[in-house]
Amino acid sequence: MASTAISLRRRDGAFTAIILFLPPALLLFTLFVVVPIVEAAWYSGFNWNGFGTPTRWVGWNNYIAVFNTRAFHLALRNNGLIILVSLLIQLPLALGLALVLAERFRGAVALRMLFFLPYVLAEIATGLIFSFVYDGDYGLLASIYRMFGAEAPHLLASPDTAMLAILIVVVWKYFGFHMMLFIAALQGMDRNLVEAARIDGASRGQVLRYIVIPLLYPTIRLSVFFAIVGSLQLFDLVMPLTRGGPADSSQTMVSFLYTHGVTRMRVGFGSAIGVILFVICATFAFTYKRWVMRDE
């Protein structure tokens, strides 16, 4: 009897909290997230240059046009590449560094800060810095090549290497963030488990393989989530470096949207790209949440 009363009161409390706290958040979310998405979906059915109200209904034509654009295929490929590199190079690198730097030794904190620093830099600033680094005439890379008596390549000017150059910057900029996530997780870990395993005679490798990594799984899943969503949104690094060029070879979905939609006053076409990107992101986020992160 008493317990039912308590749980009822609890439910009452929860209800009041919902009444009080949900509307502001819901309103803001609707206004700035739901409405723009619905608007974009609506615009994507028109051939419209952004002036006045859209009137030329074209149905699915914008989507067909997007799928027929070579730049779109390149953008998809590049987003895929970024995700691959994030998962196969950036994550192991971040994890490895975290395992070393989570230990207490002289200089550990300084090194952590050093590796975290690129993440703090603004994307545009990073892009500009690297456009100087990559400059084939005056850049840092050029001086390194010259030390060995070789002619430096213009990485950003060739369709074959521009994306590679961007991938390097992506890893450089974001590995520190993932490293910090892992360090935080490692420090929150129960040391007793590790010690117990050591006492039982487990080697360092075994401890890592059977205790530390499994305990890190939630963080790894989170890190993968961030890496993939971040890759899909990559834009502000690309613009100062290549603007998606040469010949669209380094477009990402968002830079494709900007250079082929916004700056060409093709609002319908751009909206179609936006909707496609939204569908990709939403599908990924929900399935990932549902299947991979369901325990959290």
Partner 1 sequence: MRVMKSVLLAAGLLAAGALSAAAQTTVKWLHIEVNPTQVKIWEEVARAYEAKNPGVKVEMSFLENEAYKAKAPTLLQSKDKPHIIFSWAGGVLQSQVEAGVIEDITDQVKGYADTLTPAAVEAFKINGRNYGIPVAMSQVGFMVNKELMAKAGVDYTKIKTWDDLLAAVKTIKAAGITPIVVGGADKWPLHFYWTHLAVRMGGSPAIAAAMAGKDGGFESDVYVKSAELYKQLVDLQPFQNGFLGFKNPQAVGAFGDGKAAMILAISSFYHTQKALSADKTGIPDDKLGWFDFPSVPGGKGEPTDTLGGINGWLITKGSPKEAVDFLKFFISKDVQTRLAAGNFIVPVAKGAEEGVSSPFMKNIVANLGKSKFHQNFYDQMLGPSVGRVINDASAEIAGGSMTPKQAAKAVNDAWKQGN
Is 265 a binding residue for partner 1 by CB under 8 A? The answer is yes
**Smallest distance, partner 1 to C-beta of residue 147, A:** 18
**Smallest distance, partner 1 to C-beta of residue 74, A:** 11
**Smallest distance, partner 1 to C-beta of residue 237, A:** 16
**Smallest distance, partner 1 to C-beta of residue 248, A:** 8
Ramachandran angles phi, psi of 46, nearest 5°: -120, 155
| Residues facing residue 46 across a β-bridge | 57
**Smallest distance, partner 1 to C-beta of residue 79, A:** 21
**Smallest distance, partner 1 to C-beta of residue 47, A:** 8
Output the CA–CA distances (angstroms, integers) from residue 176 to 103, 192, 291, in the order listed: 16, 28, 27
Q: Which of 6, 14, 113, 247 is in the footprint of partner 1 by CB under 8 A?
A: 247
Give the whole-angstrom CA distance, residue 253 versus residue 234.
8
| Residues facing residue 57 across a β-bridge | 46
Q: Please identify, using beta-carbon distances, which residue of 151 and 296 lies nearer to partner 1.
A: 151
Is 74 a binding residue for partner 1 by CB under 8 A? The answer is no
Is 118 a binding residue for partner 1 by CB under 8 A? The answer is no
Q: Please identify, using beta-carbon distances, which residue of 216 and 257 lies nearer to partner 1.
A: 257
Q: Please identify, using beta-carbon distances, which residue of 166 and 207 lies nearer to partner 1.
A: 166
Is 51 a binding residue for partner 1 by CB under 8 A? The answer is yes
Q: Please identify, using beta-carbon distances, which residue of 62 and 219 lies nearer to partner 1.
A: 62
Q: Please identify, using beta-carbon distances, which residue of 89 and 262 lies nearer to partner 1.
A: 262
Helix segments in the chain, DSSP class H: 2-29, 35-43, 61-67, 70-85, 91-101, 108-120, 123-133, 140-147, 162-187, 191-199, 204-207, 213-233, 238-241, 253-257, 267-287
| Residue numbers 148-187 binding partner 1 by CB under 8 A | 153-159, 162
- Give the gyration radius of the chain's Cα atoms: 24
The tokens describing 261, both together, are 């939609």
Give buried/exposed letters for 217-241 (b at 16+ CB in 10 A, else e). eebbbbbbbebbebbbebbbbbbbb
Scanning 171-179, 205-213, 240-248, 272-280 for contacts with partner 1 by CB under 8 A, the matching segment is: 240-248
Task: Enumerate residues 6+ apart whose C-beta is below 8 A from 17.
Answer: none
Give the whole-angstrom CA distance, residue 39 versus residue 21.
27
| Footprint on this chain of partner 1 (rule: CB under 8 A) | 47, 49-52, 136-137, 153-159, 162, 242-243, 245-248, 258, 262-267
